[in-house]
Amino acid sequence: MTVERALVLAGQRPGADPLADYAGVSQKALIPIGGAPMLSRVVTALRDAGLRRIGVSTADPAVAALARELGCEALPAEAGPSLSALRGVETLAPPLLVTTADHALLRPEWVSQLLQDAPPSADISVLLARRATVEAAAPGTRRTYLKFADGEWSGCNLFLVRNDRALGAIRLWSTLEADRKRPWRIIGRLGPATLARYALGRLSLAEALRRLGALSGAAAAAVESPFGLAAVDVDKPADLDLVRRLAEP
């Protein structure tokens, strides 16, 4: 499908950011990688993928100024990523792509693949990569994996919001956000039967998405990425060191 709008989440959680401190900058989105701030790299990849109107959600004046320099719209960030996503989607309007400012290795072909392979029946589609694919591309990297009957999957910080029904999925995300690093707790919110199937290794990814869709009122779909590096964002110093090595010309 043709999508020309994107939202980049560039907020920062309250208090000092250890990663920004490690890099010697005030905000994570401003960390330099390969000679450019992370936010600049993300915006360039989105432009190269054909996205023309790009909103950047941030509460920081320096990040907002950079966003405007890059020809983007600076949008006010909310208390957390999910609420910022909700406000950004409502402002820019679907269909649009949602990603994050710490997706420093983002490539236009990853964006194009999601837009091409996302099923038309899904209100929201998410790009995921299998563990084997991630580890083959970035040996030794530590990611958070969702363990289902049909494999272990890592998120790639790329979402296609196709229509307004997808807002239900984003609202559900806001209730699950505190458990983002504890997959079993997220599955537990889907009910004891679903949690039991997950614990026994019998819950498939498709089943979990159907259950999430039933709770949110939005049909959700996963798109498998053949690009392992699509799952590598910058969450901790080891990620930054890895991404800097990979980004060197």
Q: Confirm if 237 and 231 have CB atoms less than 8 A apart.
A: no
Could you tell me the CATH number of the domain that includes residue 226?
A: 3.90.550.10
Q: What is the CA radius of gyration of the chain?
A: 17
Under DSSP, is residue 214 helix (H, G, I), strand (E, B) or coil? helix
Q: Confirm if 63 and 10 have CB atoms less than 8 A apart.
A: yes
Q: Name the pTM for this structure.
A: 0.91
Q: Maximum CA pair distance of the chain?
A: 51
Q: Of how many residues is the chain composed?
A: 249
Looking at the structure of the chain, the number of domains it has is 1
Cis peptide before 95 (omega within 30 of 0): yes
227 Cβ partners below 8 Å, 6+ apart? 107, 109, 110, 113, 129, 133, 137
pLDDT at site 201: 78
Nearest to 228 by CA among 150, 157, 156: 156
Q: What is the extent of the structural domain holding 102?
A: 5-247
What is the phi/psi pair of residue 51, to 5°? -85, 130
pLDDT at site 59: 93
Token pair 């269909």 in the structure block, residue: 95
Helix (H) or strand (E) holding 23: helix 18-23
72 Cβ partners below 8 Å, 6+ apart? 8, 43, 54, 55, 56
Under DSSP, is residue 104 helix (H, G, I), strand (E, B) or coil? coil
pLDDT in tens, the chain (249 residues): 789 999 999 987 666 788 999 999 999 999 999 999 999 999 999 999 999 999 999 999 999 999 999 999 999 998 888 889 999 999 999 999 999 999 999 999 999 999 999 999 999 999 999 999 999 999 989 898 988 999 999 999 999 999 999 999 888 877 766 555 556 566 666 666 776 777 777 889 998 898 888 888 999 999 999 999 999 999 899 999 999 999 876
